[in-house]
Amino acid sequence: MSVMPNTTQSGDDWPRLAHYVVIRRRELGLSQAEAARIAQFGARNTWINMETGTTKPRDSKWAGIERALLWARGSVQAILSGAEPTLADSIGAEDEEVEDPARIIRDTVNRSDWDEGTKRALIAIVEDAEARLAEIRKSSSDVHSFRPIA
């Protein structure tokens, strides 16, 4: 990730945050829709608007951004204040109150009102997502520190 100079000392450098979010999302190989879903944003456009600087995410959304980008808690505030983000030590440990999205989807798939074809398609999607998450977890565990490229 390239380092963007700190343009403000007040802790509200939103263009800097947008820059870091875009770079990190791309490093993880996530689409904007995937990142928005992991962050539990209501709509993909909310994520897109954050990346383009059109809107500033409320602080209630920061934990979701950090979760989606595998950053430790406090990383969004750090970036806004001119510091660097840090990687989360382990996926899920930072946010224990958040339910496992794959389990929620599996429970939804098992509803009795879905036809079998829809269930099979949804299960395939969940299995693919779980495999991708396992890859992300493995690659993030291999990284010991977050050092942007100068």
Range of the domain at 130: 14-142
Indicate whether 56 pLDDT > 80.
yes
- 3 in any annotated domain: no
- 91 in any annotated domain: yes
Indicate whether 39 pLDDT > 50.
yes
- 28 in any annotated domain: yes
Split into its structural domains, the chain has a count of 1
- Which residue has better confidence, 51 or 94? 51
Query: What are the b/e assignments for 24-40, b being 16+ CB within 10 Å?
Result: bbeebebebebbbbbbe
DSSP 20-62: HHHHHHHHHT--HHHHHHHTT-S-HHHHHHHHHTSSPPPGGGH
- 88 in any annotated domain: yes
Give the single-character DSSP code of 11.
S
Q: What is the mean pLDDT of residues 107-134?
A: 72
- 46 in any annotated domain: yes
pTM over 0.85: no
- Return the CATH number at 105: 1.10.260
- 30 in any annotated domain: yes
Indicate whether 16 pLDDT > 90.
yes
Please give the pLDDT value at position 120: 76
Indicate whether 46 pLDDT > 70.
yes
**Cβ(126)–Cβ(100) under 8 Å?**
no
- 148 in any annotated domain: no
- Which residue has better confidence, 145 or 31? 31
- 149 in any annotated domain: no
List, in sequence order, every residue forming a beta bridge with 87; answer none if it has no partner: 71
